[in-house]
């Protein structure tokens, strides 16, 4: 088990992804995704999300854990590809913590 919490791990992940933006796409999977553009990054994210759904519905916790890591990685790559900073996502999550889920959903309709 890791000594780091998820937030710290995600912070490092985003920094690593950003550092790979200028890497050789032949040597870095992350660089190859980013160089292929946002559409490719989004497609990979979608593929990984489907794999996570399959693992979740099969009841395979180990597979779901692995797929969840893939989903988080590909989400971070996709956000980086389109220029959405992780702190912007964090700000939304913090704002939403101040209200119930039902209130938050209703506020999006306005």
Number of structural domains (the chain) is 1
Residue 86 lies in a domain: no
Residue 80 Cα distances to 7, 16, 17, 73, angstroms: 17, 11, 8, 11
- This prediction has a pTM of 0.88
Residue 56 lies in a domain: yes
Domain assignment of residue 57, given as a range = 6-81
Percent of the chain beyond pLDDT 70? 95
Mean predicted lDDT score pLDDT of the chain: 93
CATH number for the domain spanning 40: value is 1.10.287.1080
Structure-model confidence comparison of residues 83 and 97, the more confident one: 83
pLDDT at 1: 58
Residue 109 lies in a domain: no
Report whether 38 contacts 78 (CB < 8 A): yes
How many Å apart are CA 82 and CA 13, to the nearest integer? 16
74 C-beta neighbours (distance < 10 Å), count = 20
Residue 105 lies in a domain: no
Residue 30 lies in a domain: yes
Residue 92 lies in a domain: no
pLDDT at 87: 95
Residue 110 lies in a domain: no
């Amino acid at each position: 088990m890791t000594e780091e919490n998820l937030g710290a791990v995600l912070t490092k992940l985003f920094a690593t992804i950003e550092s790979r933006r200028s890497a050789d796409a032949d040597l870095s999977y992350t660089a190859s995704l980013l160089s292929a553009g946002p559409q490719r990054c989004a497609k990979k994210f979608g593929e990984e999300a489907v794999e996570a759904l399959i693992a979740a519905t099969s009841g395979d916790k180990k597979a779901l854990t692995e797929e969840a890591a893939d989903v988080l990685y590909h989400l971070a790559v996709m956000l980086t590809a389109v220029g959405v900073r992780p702190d912007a996502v964090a700000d939304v999550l913090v704002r939403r913590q101040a209200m119930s889920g039902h209130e938050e959903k209703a506020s999006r309709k306005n």
